[in-house]
Structure 1
């Protein structure tokens, strides 16, 4: 195991993971908002925000799928050392990490069951930027409407139709995070 694997975790795990969890829940509860997640220094190509999410929401009982360039030995070793999450195929994942293109097709991921809609996957989508307003959002947690930069609108519209089933999404770029829950209604801007 490379010694670099030992680096990059939270320096003050109880405090930093609590702050990261609060930020993650805030963006999920308020679609269209952006928060800063810091404290993690994961290996490339993982962003600091994605690393902080992994450190906060993954553990040995949360199967993680790494897609595309994110499925490399450095990232696998870092995840194994810091959180112990098993790396699995997309179909078995509770969480998945990659950019939009490598996570496709979304139909590979669990959307839950009528009895257990919470048994769905949450995707962490790495983006170049979270700036922009390519979509208009409406729904729970949004006063009237909100704007958000999404890679496309149609996939999220189809996902919302599945409610109470469906996928939830975090979007990360550098040290920033935003989220889109399955409850949000998406219109192309």
Structure 2
């Protein structure tokens, strides 16, 4: 029996990767802003076109990647990533530089991922999270790249997501960075972002 054909990657690898990277840079520079990201990729489910584009732009043979159970169980996802990026897929989240998380409602504890070291805070993980939708809303975010405060919401996410962001910010300069992928857009939530958890903080 012949092996199933792999889904194709970027039609124009250089320019498509550059466009995706530019969207990611803007998203990380302006946390909580939904930055448009068009992708015509047709990756194996449940990998979305937007998450696939982010993966193809960021991963290479030197960037171990962790797949959540939903992605790890899909037979076409790991071969797609290995073929198009060369990135080794690891089973231990602590050893990953990137994590692809398709089941946002079951987002793993951030503590399970590399959060950097005091002398090397850049040795941390970036979590790429797939959501169904995102836009303005609570929590109100503060931090570098935000003029005052910015409302941001995404679904589905755990009920304690804002508290997780606050705990992650408290570790700065350590901590993880997050990229959220929704249909047609990406948003960045770097470790520098801080949510307003209640009105009593005003």
Q: Give me the TM-score of the superposition, normalised by structure 2.
A: 0.88
The 5 A counterparts of 1:38-187 are: 38-71=39-72, 72-88=74-90, 89-98=92-101, 99-150=103-154, 151=157, 152-187=161-196
CA distance in 2, matches of 1:142, 1:113: 26
Q: Residue deviations 1:128-172, cap 9 Å, x none?
A: 111341211111001111111153200000000000000000011
| Structure showing the higher strand proportion among its residues | 2
SS in 2 for 1:133: strand
Structure 1 runs, 4 residues or longer, greater than 6 Å off: none
Q: Give me the TM-score of the superposition, normalised by structure 1.
A: 0.94
Structure label with greater radius of gyration? 2
Gaps of 5+ in 2: none
Q: Residue deviations 1:67-104, cap 9 Å, x none?
A: 02111221001001110110112110000011334441
- Tell me the equivalent position of 2:30: 30
CA RMSD, 1 decimal: 1.4
Q: CA deviation at 1:125?
A: 0.9
Gaps of 5+ in 1: none
